[in-house]
Structure 1
Amino acid sequence: MSDESHLEEHIKEKRSVRMRTRALVWNSRLCVMAVLCTVIFVSIAVLQCIGIAFFTKGFLLSRQVLDNYSTVADDIYEGASSLRNFDKAIVVIIDALRFDFVIPDEGSSKPYHNNIRLPYELTQQYPENSVLLKFMADPPTTTLQRLKGLTTGSLPTFVDAGSNFDGDVIEEDNLIKQLYHNNRSITFVGDDTWKALFGPFLNTSYPYDSLNVWDLHTVDNGVIDHFGPLLQSEQQKSWDVLIGHLLGVDHCGHRYGPDHYAMAEKQQQMDSFLQSIVDSMDDDTLLIVLGDHGMDRTGNHGGDSAEELEAALWLYSKKRAFHQLQNQDSYDIRRNGANYRKVNQIDLVPTFSLLLGIPVPFNNLGAPIEEAFAESSLYLKAAKYTLEQIHRYRQHSTSLMDDELINSKFKQAQESCTDENFSQLFQDYQNASLERCKDLWARFDMISIVVGIVLIFLSIIILIVYFKMIPSVVMTQLSEEIVPSIIAMTSLLTVIAISISLILKPSFMTLPWCTMLGAALGIVFGFAVPIFDRYSWIWLFYSFLDRFGGFWTLVALFFSFLHLAIFASNSFTIWEDRILGYLLTTFGILAAWKSSLADSSVKRIMGIYHSVSFMVITRLASLITICREEQGTMCTPNYDVSSWTIVMLFIQTFVFPSIIKAFYDISGSYQSAAPTWNRVFRLILLSIALYWGLEWFERHQYELTYDFVKRISLSSVHTTKFTLARIIAGTTLVAANVGWSRGPLCVGLDVKNRETKEVVILGYQNVYGSQYFLLMMNIIASVMLFTKPMGQFAIFLMVYQLLSFVELVDILEIRSNLISPVIVGLLGWFYFFSTGHQATIASIQWELGFTLVDTIVFPFSHIPIFLNTFASFLIATAAIALVTIWKIPPSTKPVALYAKIIENCGTLLAYQSVITLSTLIFATVFRRHLMVWKIFAPRFMIAGLVQIVVNVVLILIPVGFASGKLIIQINRIFGKGS
């Protein structure tokens, strides 16, 4: 070999060594940068979580509970034993027994009508033995809160709804506790919530798992099977009060909705069960049948619509124990009983207590039910005892005792005990007392609310200053100063806060809250000290003016302002999904206009094409709806699982991967790992479609007419479905992500000339974006398993729209502009609604918790609900990195590239924080609004949860793991960095 060849090889070797050394240096700097940025994002997340916690503490209230306990020795109950009319009681709770389920409607063809006939027929035949009433629940209409109201006679507050899946023993004075302490033997069968709430006071109990809404029969069959022997004459001596809580009607509503043949079958079973109880009970036994709440047209509950609040109450005795009111018009059954007489659910508490000869629970606010007493004189006597009991409770409450108006009404009623006007005066007093309590228990902790709002506001200032005002080129140096400052200031101020709490012991803030406030202020000062040591307010102000100018930036600010202004009106808030659609369509129009001004014909054509695609997809996605009650007839839901949606899932199996391949082909990136990933993605989509097909078959086998179909074992279908779901979940959540972390890049070699060894690297121009999107495919596949078919179509449209958007970002050159993170954030919220959700408790799809398991098992029941609810935010937040890295070649400045990704991540977080802050502020402004607990409170709760989710996803994927690893991998291979 010649000397020139040796020299050329030596030069190439030295150049290779120099490039590898340079790559190692840049990679080490990138690792340091990634660690520092992760710490910074974690600090901001902690600050925002503390702010949300403070606001929640001040806004979601809990009422004052008195520890006092009623006894038969109390002076106010002297002579009350004369009202005792029954020795035993049978209480049957049919969960979600809506009132119109129990009254006839001969002209109706609805499956839920005319099946439970016994209560109405016996009331008509024996009006002195039977009473049927509309039983009005207090919101929230969740089971645990209803049981608390039905046994204590007091009112729930909104915060109690959060404990629906974590019930503790009720220490407050209640019916079950009174029965136990007055030596009444209690036997319970059914919903295991009773065991959690009243376990120590139940002499015998047979609890069943209550939260598996797919199971319509286990609890009901258990109650029926146990009641049979317990109602036999020789066994009736073993109990004084027999309680059964059946769940089949409620679960049928959650799973199928009320308008389904399974509802008719379940109701007919309930009617037969009630008939068997009536046949077995004796003359000294009171039968109480009630619904704890109703259900809406979708079969759900939790809110305060009429359908959710109107339950049924039926009292029956074989002896003449009741009387009907003279105004028979109040019992009109026309229009589904719209004019039927109503009583509050808490009214059952004093009624039940006095009829069984036990004291009324101390905190009761309800009034006796007039029809439940054989004579009007007995009702007036019961009202007198209840009047004294409510007054005693108010006098023991520091917040209620000095109410002059209510006290004057009490004196009027007390002085008229023997007058014919007493009944009306008592009702006026009881109603006024109840309404005043509702108002009083809506007192907010304004100090905590203001602290929460201020902390979120400060976090937004930090995000704007750090990620948008300070040049990204100095971000590394500044991060090296900020992280130690955060650690030092947080430690110092946390210690000071703890010391203040221990020494001064402020009444408005306990030690844990003082500690959190100190930590939050430490984070704020940890950011502020290095920033304002380096930059002045004036420089930051001019930087703000410089960075926030330009057409697209002004558009982004305008969109953000419109989104945050939505929450200033309850009408706009309930139509947020439509408004977001208009904003996205407006962006598509503006993008088409800007694309038409591009300097090359290719950019003009492709820009207009993707802009039109963006608008069309927005319109298609807006057609996928699940309605909230306030939208009324102006919204038509189309989210049901049907045969045609299953067929569409199988069609999507072929269309979705083809769309992804088409976008990869634009940059020649469909190389190496991309085809393999796309084939596996297609296989997963096919498996998901098969899973949902089995789910549909399991629901509708009864309706199919083919004999061979009816012979298929549903247990085999059930087992196959669970096995398939677990395989899909394991593949998408674990195996696919491990494979991505170790897989090759989406690049290939194309030899143009073998003699000159001219080689073209295919996919080079999109090496970052193509590889990152493989990780996105893992996320997409994992959330689609836990999303109903219509929601899966929405996710498909979302991914298509995101890919069109990042193409527009490249064409319009807006990678670092404010508009890009804002549009990604808007897409996250827009598809939250299109994937079958609303800012209401009732829209949470709890049934998806049983995709992997039959019973509630942490975390396998919780992960599906989380992925289902926040699917759109997971995808949008992870996709923010694509705005920076889509269609760019290996960078010569990897640290600067990573800084640009971090800038967009921080901007997205700032946008979401502004939306969250707006919901907090307007929830506070409208805290006395009629719709606060129906509209504004749920909206701020959803925003708070999304804020936490966005923080966590940013830390785990674009900031902490995926982006940094990908840049390091590509820098190591191509040796870029200078």
Structure 2
Amino acid sequence: MIQGTTRSRIRQQKLRITFFGYFLVLLFFASLQVISIVFFTQGFLLSREVPDIISNCSDEVQACLVPKFEKAIVLVIDALRFDFAIPVEGSEMFYHNNFPILYELHTNQPQKSVLLKFIADPPTTTLQRLKGLTTGSLPTFIDAGSNFNGDEIDEDNWVLQLYNHNKSVAFMGDDTWQALFKKYINPQLNFPYPSLNVWDFHTVDNGVLENLHPLLKDPQKSSKWDVLIGHFLGVDHIGHRYGPNHHTMKEKLNQMNEEIKKVIEEMDDSTLLVVMGDHGMDSTGNHGGDSSDELESTLFMYTKKKNFQMNKQKVKANAYDISKLGTNYRTVNQIDLVPTISLLLGLPIPHNNLGFPIDELFESDKVLNQVSYKVVQQINQFRMNSNNEKIIKNQELNDKYAFLISNYERFSGNKKYTSDLISISKSFQYDNLEYCKSLWARFDMKFIVFGLSLLALSFVFILTYSRSIPSVRVSTMSFEFLGSVIAMSLLGIVLSLSIYIVLMPHNLMLRHCLAGGVGIGMVIGFWAPIMDRFSVNWLIHQIFDFFIYNFNSWSFMGLIYLVLHCLIFASNSYVIWEDKMASFFLSMFGVCGIISIASNTKTPQESRILGILHCLTFVVVTRLISMVNLCREEQGDYCRPTFEVTWWSVLLLHVMAYFLPLVIKSFYRLTNSYHSAAPLWMKSGFRFLLFMNATYWTLEYMDDNGIFEKLHLSTSFTHFLTNNLIKSFKLAISRIVLFISLVLANYGWSRGPLCVKIDFSNPEPNEDSKSSPDDSQELGEEKPTATILGYENIYGSSYFLLVINFAAAIMLTSKPLGALSIAGLLVQILSFLEIMDLLDLRRNLISPIIFGLLAYQNFFSTGHQATIPSIQWDVAFLTNDDIMFPFTHINLVLNNFGSFILVCLAIPLVILWRVPPTNKPIAVLSQVISITTSLITYQTLLSLSSFIFTAHFRRHLMVWKIFAPRFMLNGVLQVLINVVLIFITLWFGVNKVLSQVNRIFGK
């Protein structure tokens, strides 16, 4: 007994040491991949270099004009799409015909007002739009990521110019302005409000109104500011939460309409009013991309004096044809606001401006010609001071500028040539703008190639480590890898630091040198132990053998799926339809499974029938899940979006809350594992959490659709019910569910029992014992026999409870149809595990690939696409009203990547499902590591393919719309999958199950 206990302890100690070795090696693999992704991203998504030159009136080019207006009121209505502000005859949409004031003023007072379609430059995120609206420059794609971490603008802009010219700027509204322009705003007139809670429609808007009107009406306060900026957010937030076609959008637009009327009544004659949107919104209410609905915003300018002296020709050119929505409206770029407002207020034009003055704001062609020439000089000055040699040496632009200068000097006083000079100025500005757009992304091929090389090598290493080296050697080589990698990484740091100090490269930062040194050191560190033991020919043979390991028709199918999935990144059309391809691959696997099982006569008939039922379940669920989708703009009429919150989807949540535990219970019954912890989780915990989720989304649906208002209760009680009681109840539900599922349940799981039960049964007496009672008395009574129920699936049944815990949290953060999709994913996983066991696919290439495809299919079916607008920002505020780290971020991660998290958690079940206890736990651990790293390998290949083709198509028309967002998704997934697999799946999950089973059943 003592010897057995000692052996068990030794085995447990060996298991811990082996696991720790695996853990550290995989951590280093992940670090190498992160370094490769960072280098590729740095090379592909370079930020724009901004000259630190500030324009001033003493400059000959920038000599300031006499201000046309003494004051200006700039009101930004976030996401004010152009069709929100114009009449649309016969439309019953809530966002049409509810904000008429701008159009009415423009048609009734054309000499005092201007209404234009205001075209944004992508990406259409608020931070980047504010930069464009104040600097006149083009944003870079990577700046989209800083939308939630706004940095102070470090380039010339008209807010800075106001400050430099001793003008007082008052501000109220979206606190993004605070992050960008804090030092230029009058601290006594600065009223920022938190901007990212998209479920709050009124706090920011009410804050603007509370401070706006007193500053306009009170003469004493009015004298304290020169430019007043207000940024409303209600329209944008309603769009994010409900989409544009919701009754609250009508109410909000009506409110904005009334407030603009009040502002016009309160403003004086010397003030310019500017009302604009920073971007639009798509049909789902989101923005960030470059669809027409996201790009087309509104610009309205108004003065009580007759300052906009447009001639009849201009008025006619801007006539509106309401029957053709959005076709006959004059458009201007958002950057055109920058020179316009600067000239009207008597400020120098910001040095980096690329825009052109808006014609309608200047009373004659003579004045427009003067300001156009001034802007052309400023643009050329920007070109000559640019850090980009290509801009400076562009001969076509240089010749056009020289031609304009010579002709302006000769003909500027001749009215006959005024319009021609204006046209030449516009042509020069347009050509320069288009050329700058072509240089929008400047690629550093050295970084790109270095990142791709590191990622490719990481693929080779992890493939070699996980598959090619026999398991026994892997466990002993782990610490050889660790020592080599650490030593070489330190050496790389020292060498790179030395090179940096000696050479001091001007275009390379210290962190790049250090990261590069670490990356090269890791490559050498991984390579050395392999080359020390094995030849190159052996290595190539083993890598090739990975693809034909246990090769049969299923391996061939897996290889085909792998190749096709990697090749979709070679075509923008295939990237667009990736969701349908993933569903097709999975359905085809299920159909092939039916054929294979039905044709295998060696399998018992009962097993064949059960296998066919599992395959049918897999195919049907896959097909149902594929019907839930959020369409990309590029899919056009070929896709019908179905991802929306409806009454029947909420009702199905309640149905699912009852039936899903029963379905999982039926799978446990198949392996006789529904014992001990399983009933506690299924009957009580999981069902309770699902019911709470359904309750939450029921309240959310009722609140969104105004059900409580339709009950005809008193206004005060309805307000209390919706804004206090229901809101508090929803917050309580979400916090309880996430706390139980992520904290309490996981803690209980780590300390709880296995899904087994010891059954004692007395043997039935035989005929001999009945006829010979005396003999039985002499031999003594037969002892009852003990049977361990659930023994054959002790690893898998216990481990799957961990998957259920995270599934409950992910279902809460997913909208109703997304939660139903996640429920389907659980059924798909369990069905596949049974199919895998029946077809003996446990160590086949197809298994990790099917798991990866399940993650991708359910990513799309939970309402996501590889686009910025598809991010469901509103779920960030399920558990809190404001942004609060880490809760807001956890909600977003669970919502966007829930399917990948579940698949990463479930992948060890390929090895653990239907496996009885063994006295060789290290062998089981090695197999788990092998299948886990196979999933990493699959994602690494996808990332590598995506990176290569994105780099190849870096000048493609669709690079920023399709290829770049897809490569960014792959980069995020590569990091996420490594983190979840290493820290949660292996460290927390597999380690606990193997240790507990080995401790109890180890011999």
Give the TM interval when normalised to the shorter protein.
over 0.9
Q: Could you report, residue by residue, the CA deviation over 1:253-280 in whole angstroms, capped at 9, with x for unpaired residues?
A: 1111111111111001111111111111
Once the two structures are TM-superposed, the CA of residue 703 in structure 1 deviates from its matched residue by 6.9
Verify the 8 A CA contact 1:20 1:975 in the aligned structure 2.
no
Work out whether 1:505 is the aligned partner of 2:489: no
- Note the C-alpha offset of 1:926: 0.7
Q: What does the per-residue CA deviation read over 1:572-614, in whole Å, with 9 as the maximum and x for residues that have no partner?
A: 0010000111111121122222222442223322222212221
- Structure 2 equivalent of residue 43 of structure 1: 28
> Paired residues, what number?
959
**For the structure 1 residues 47 and 696, does the alpha-carbon distance in structure 2 shift closer, same or farther, using more than 3 Å as the test?**
same
Q: Structure 2: which amino acid aligns with 1:247?
A: L
Give 2:772's aligned residue: none
Alignment-mate amino acid for residue 840 of structure 2: E
CA contact (8 A) 2:492 2:520 kept: yes
Q: Which whole-Å CA distance do the structure 2 matches of 1:336 and 1:857 have between them?
A: 42
Matching residue within 225, 248, 256 for 1:270 = 256
TM-superposed deviation, 1:32: 0.7
Shift of 1:217: 0.8
TM-score (norm 1): 0.96
Matched with 2:895 is 868
Is 1:718 the counterpart of 2:718? The answer is no
Give 2:179's aligned residue.
Answer: 196
Q: Distance in 2 between matches of 1:273 and 1:545?
A: 70
Distance 1:224 1:369 in 2: 29
Contact kept? 1:624, 1:638, Cα under 8 Å: yes
Decide whether the 8 Å contact of 1:154 with 1:346 is kept in 2: yes
Aligned to 1:688: 693
Partner deviation per Cα, 1:324-377 (whole Å, 9 max, x = no partner): 461525432332222210001010111101111111111111000000011221
Alpha-carbon distance in structure 1 between the residues aligned to 2:568 and 2:512: 32
Post-superposition Cα deviations, 1:399-424, rounded to whole Å, max 9, x if no partner, equal 22222111111112222222331011
- What is the CA–CA distance in structure 1 between the aligned matches of 2:347 and 2:998, rounded to whole Å? 79
Match of 2:56 among 71, 80, 88: 71
- Which secondary structure does the structure 2 equivalent of 1:899 belong to? helix
For 1:89, what is the secondary structure of its paired residue?
strand
- Residues 440 and 543 of structure 1: CA distance in aligned 2, closer, same or farther (over 3 Å): closer
In structure 2, what is the equivalent of residue 8 of structure 1? none
CA deviations 1:1-27 (Å, max 9, x no partner) are xxxxxxxxxxxxxxx433322222211
Q: 1:882 is matched with which residue?
A: 909
Alpha carbons 1:20, 1:972 under 8 Å: kept:
no
CA distance in 1, matches of 2:846, 2:742: 32
Q: Does 1:483 align with 2:482?
A: yes
The alpha-carbon distance between structure 1 residues 475 and 31, as it changes in their structure 2 partners (threshold 3 A), is: same
For 1:331, the equivalent position in structure 2 comes to 319
What is the aligned partner in structure 2 of residue 408 from structure 1? Answer: 399
Aligned partner letter, 2:325: N
**Among residues 369, 382, 388, which one is paired with 1:393 in the alignment?**
382
C-alpha displacement of 1:568:
0.5
Deviations 1:487-522 (Å, cap 9, x if unpaired)? 222222222222212222234432211111111122
Would the aligned equivalents of 1:190 and 1:222 in 2 still touch at CA under 8 Å? yes
More deviation, 664-673/517-526: 517-526
Amino acid at match of 1:684: L
1:418-429 equivalences under 5 Å are: 418=412, 419-420=417-418, 421-429=420-428
Tell me if 1:111 matches 2:94: yes
Aligned with 1:60 (options 45, 70, 81): 45
Amino acid at match of 2:687: R
CA displacement 1:695-730 (0-9 Å, x = unmatched):
222222357533359745111111111111111111
Per-residue CA deviation, residues 228-250 of structure 1 (Å, 9 max, x unaligned), is 11111513212111111101111
Structure 2 residue runs without a partner (length 5+) = 764-781
- Residue identity matched to 2:876: G
| Aligned position for 2:756 | 747
What is the DSSP-based 3-state SS (H/G/I as helix, E as strand, rest coil) of the residue aligned with 1:690?
Answer: helix
Which of 672, 675, 681 is matched with 2:676 structurally? 672
> What is the 5 A alignment of 1:155-554?
155-203=138-186, 204-232=189-217, 234=219, 235-324=221-310, 326=313, 328-334=316-322, 335-399=324-388, 400-417=391-408, 418=412, 419-420=417-418, 421-549=420-548, 550-551=551-552, 552-554=554-556
* Post-superposition offset of 1:643: 1.9
Deviates more, 1:423-432 or 1:336-345: 336-345
Cα deviation, 1:656-689, whole Å, max 9, x if unaligned, reads 1001100000010000110001121000111111
- Distance in 2 (alpha carbons) for counterparts of 1:682 and 1:629: 38
Cα distance change on mapping 1:509 and 1:72 into 2, 3 Å = closer
Is the 8 Å Cα contact of residues 145 and 156 (structure 1) preserved in structure 2?
yes
1:755-904 correspondence to structure 2 within 5 Å: 755-904=782-931
Native 8 Å contact 1:746 1:770 kept in 2: yes
Q: Which runs of 5+ in 1 are unaligned?
A: 1-15
TM-score by length of 2: 0.94
- Amino acid in the other structure paired with 1:269: Q
- Between the aligned partners of 2:222 and 2:393, the Cα distance in structure 1 is 48
Measured after TM superposition, the shift of residue 642 of structure 1 is 2.0
Write the letter of the residue equivalent to 1:834.
S
Tell me by how many angstroms 1:771 deviates. 0.4
CA contact (8 A) 1:331 1:337 kept: no
Equivalent residue, structure 1, for 2:770: none
8 Å CA contact 1:141, 1:301 repeated in 2: yes
- CA apart distance, 1:546: 4.3
Q: How far apart are 1:813 and its partner, in Å? A: 1.0
Distance 1:645 1:181, change over 3 A: same
Amino acid at match of 1:502: I
8 Å Cα contact 1:320-1:374 kept in structure 2: no
Partners of 1:269 and 1:702 lie apart in 2 by 22
Question: 652-661 vs 507-516, which deviates more?
Answer: 507-516
Q: Is the 8 A contact 2:464 2:542 kept in 1?
A: no
Separation of aligned partners in 2, 1:596 and 1:474: 40
Q: Distance in 2 between matches of 1:781 and 1:575?
A: 29
The amino acid of 1:439's aligned partner reads S
Cα RMSD between the aligned structures? Answer: 1.5
- The CA deviation string for residues 531-577 of structure 1, in whole angstroms up to 9 with x for no partner, is 12111122233334544321222221111000010010001001000
Q: String of CA shifts for 1:746-802, please: whole Å, max 9, x gaps.
A: 001222326432111100000000000111111111211111111000000001000
CA distance in 2, matches of 1:968, 1:190: 56
Label 1:136 to 1:772 Cα distance change in 2 as closer, same or farther (>3 A). same
- 3-state DSSP class of the match of 2:792? helix
Q: Which amino acid aligns with 1:249?
A: V
Whether the 8 Å contact between 1:772 and 1:962 is mirrored in structure 2 is yes
1:131–1:939 CA distance, 2 compared to 1 (3 A)? same
Q: Is the 8 A contact 2:943 2:974 kept in 1?
A: yes
Q: Of 133, 142, 160, which residue of structure 1 is paired with 2:125?
A: 142
Looking at structure 1, the residues matched to 110 and 318 of structure 2 have their Cα atoms a distance apart, in angstroms, of 14
Counterpart in 2 of 1:600? 603
What displacement does 1:628 show?
Answer: 1.2
Residues 73 and 228, structure 2, Cα contact 8 Å, conserved in 1: yes
Aligned equivalents of 1:72 and 1:507: distance in 2? 33
When residues 788 and 557 of structure 1 are mapped into structure 2, their CA distance, relative to the original with a 3 A threshold, is same
Secondary structure in 2 aligned to 1:243? strand
